[in-house]
Amino acid sequence: MSLNLFGQTGNVGVLTTAPRTTLDVNGTLNVNNEINVGGSDTAVGNSGTVGDLLAARADTVAVWRKYDLPAGYLDGVILTANYNRSSVTGVTFPSAAATVDPYSEDDPITASWLPIPNTEVSSVRVTKATNKVNISVQTVAQITGNSGVGSFGCGIFVDNKLKLVRTNNVAGITGSYRILNFNASLTLTVGNVNRVQFACIRRNLPTGNTLSIGVSQAASTALTPQMAGTSLSVQVLEPIQ
């Protein structure tokens, strides 16, 4: 580099003919020693200490700052994505004499499964192989008709494949209902754009009963559509480094 460079005024560019700043480097910058900030014609400036991070103040002046991170912090995970859905539509199952279709992990979604409308998350992504996708759902199951028991299962489908199921039941007089809290953790594949669905299936529903999930029925005037609705949250957790 010519020594005349340091006697010039105006902007200086490296691999650019139109430098926009005092020193404009259009390429990779390799520094083998200190970076001093806040200096002047008579002072070298501050080179920081071990562990300092370079930060810009509100006045755009660069300074070295020390951040005291807890031991093990960089070995933890952080929330990289959060998806929330809600619905007051729900699904309804009439009674049926037939037994429920058997199901296993990775089975495709069938007509027996009814997805809860407006709760689908169509583009869940992860960027690291070590990840945890936490799914939380709260909804309400209600039975009307003859006194009895209505049992059901609710599951999470990823790209139309069943990943896990939780079963439950509602018992009591017509209008009886139960709050369902559903929590699950999955590991997804890097590079995929994953479609997450929450769906339910009828298991055992005696004749004369109707089972509703995520929607209120007229038999229970105290259960409003908002109270009976479904809320779903998908949180993606990935390592910091």
- Residue type at 143? I
101 located within any domain:
yes
231 located within any domain:
yes
- Residue type at 111? A
The tally of domains found in the chain comes to 1
11 located within any domain:
no
180 located within any domain:
yes
Tokens of 187: 């590991």
58 located within any domain:
no
Along the chain (241 residues), what's the average pLDDT of each consecutive run of 10 residues?
Answer: 54 88 87 84 85 78 80 79 95 76 88 95 94 96 84 94 94 90 93 95 89 83 86 95 78
Q: CA–CA distance from 138 to each of 25, 92, 180 (Å)?
A: 54, 17, 6
Tell how far CA 44 is from the center of its chain.
47
Vertex 74 angle, CA 70 and 77, to 5°: 110
**Phi and psi at residue 75, in whole multiples of 5°?**
-90, 0
Of 72, 82, 165, 77, whose CA–CA distance to 129 is shortest? 77
Tokens of 213: 């999930």
CB-count exposure of residue 83 (10 Å: 0-12, 13-18, 19+): middle
CATH number for 221:
2.60.120.760
2 located within any domain:
no
Query: What is the three-class DSSP state of 75?
Result: helix
26 located within any domain:
no
Query: CA 143, CA 154: separation in Å to the nearest integer?
Result: 16
CB atoms within 10 A of CB 164: 15
pLDDT of residue 120: 96
Tell me the torsion sign for CA atoms 28, 31, 35, 39: negative
pLDDT of residue 51: 76
Q: What is the CA radius of gyration of the chain?
A: 30
149 located within any domain:
yes
Domain that holds residue 191: 77-239
Strand pairing category for 132-145 and 177-186: antiparallel
CB atoms within 10 A of CB 214: 31
Prediction pTM value: 0.71
